[in-house]
C-alpha cells in the first residue's frame, strides 16, 4: 500500500488529461487504478534499481519520464529464498550467479567473468540462474543489482561484469580474491 500512496502522491501533480495513460516499469505486470489514472506495472531489465514512471496521453507521441529511485513496489525475494541465498553465498569464498555454467556459459558477460576467474586460477562455484526463474528474480532484489552475472566474494556482492572487468584491470579484483582466500 505504501507504493500505491507514493504513486498517488506523484500522480496528483499531473492533470488527468495529461496522464490518461501511466506506465510504471517494475518487476511484475499488474494493472492498478490509482488516483483516477490507469497504472500498469511492467517488467523492466536495465534501470539499475530504479523505477521509471512514464506519464503521457495515449495519443501523445512523446512521454515524460520521472525517475523514482526509492520506490519498492514488488519484491521477488521471499524470506525462504533470502535464507537460502544467505547460506549459499556465505558457504563459498567465490560464487558466480550466471547464465549457464562455468563450462558452458550462455551469455557473453557471464563468459567474460568466468574467463577472468579461470585466468586467476581461483576456485569458484557457479549457479545457473536460467534453471530457476524465482531465483533469478529474487537475486535481483537480494543484491539490489538488476543484471547477471553477479559475483560474490567472501559472502559479499562484488559486482557484475563491468565492475569485475574494471577491478581485474586495476588489480583490485586480485586483491579482493587474495584477501578472501586468506580469511
Give 79-182's CATH code, choosing from 3.40.50.300, 3.40.30.10, 3.40.50.720, 3.40.1280.10. 3.40.30.10
Residue range 132-152: mean pLDDT, rounded: 94
What pLDDT does 75 receive? 62
- Going from the C-alpha of 58 to that of each of 9, 37, 51, 55, 177, the distances in angstroms are 21, 12, 20, 9, 52
What pLDDT, in 10s, does the model give residues 64-80? 344 434 444 456 788 99
Residue 183 pLDDT level (bands cut at 50, 70, 90): confident
**Torsion-angle region of 25 (φ positive above 0: left; ψ -120 to 50: alpha; else: beta):** beta
Residue 10 pLDDT level (bands cut at 50, 70, 90): low
- The domain spans of the chain are 79-182
Give Cα 102 distance to the centre of its chain.
21
Q: What letter does residue 105 receive in the DSSP assignment? A: B
Q: Which residue has the higher pLDDT, 79 or 32?
A: 79
pTM score, whole prediction: 0.61
**Is the pLDDT at 54 greater than 90, yes or no?**
no
Amino acid at each position: 500500500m505504501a507504493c500505491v500512496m507514493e504513486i498517488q502522491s506523484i500522480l496528483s501533480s499531473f492533470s488527468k488529461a495529461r496522464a490518461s495513460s501511466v506506465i510504471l516499469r517494475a518487476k511484475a505486470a499488474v494493472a492498478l487504478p490509482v488516483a483516477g489514472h490507469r497504472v500498469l506495472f511492467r517488467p523492466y531489465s536495465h534501470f539499475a534499481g530504479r523505477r521509471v514512471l512514464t506519464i503521457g496521453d495515449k495519443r501523445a507521441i512523446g512521454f515524460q519520464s520521472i525517475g523514482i529511485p526509492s520506490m519498492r513496489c514488488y519484491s521477488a525475494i521471499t524470506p525462504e529464498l533470502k535464507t537460502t541465498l544467505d547460506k549459499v553465498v556465505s558457504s563459498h569464498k567465490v560464487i558466480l550467479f550466471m547464465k549457464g555454467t562455468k563450462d558452458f556459459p550462455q551469455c557473453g558477460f557471464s563468459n567474460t567473468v568466468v574467463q577472468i576467474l579461470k585466468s586467476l586460477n581461483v576456485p569458484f562455484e557457479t549457479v545457473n540462474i536460467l534453471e530457476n526463474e524465482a531465483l533469478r528474480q529474487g537475486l535481483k532484489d537480494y543484491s539490489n543489482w538488476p543484471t547477471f552475472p553477479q559475483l560474490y566474494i567472501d559472502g559479499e556482492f562484488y559486482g557484475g561484469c563491468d565492475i569485475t572487468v574494471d577491478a581485474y584491470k586495476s588489480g583490485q579484483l586480485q586483491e579482493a580474491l587474495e584477501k578472501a582466500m586468506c580469511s
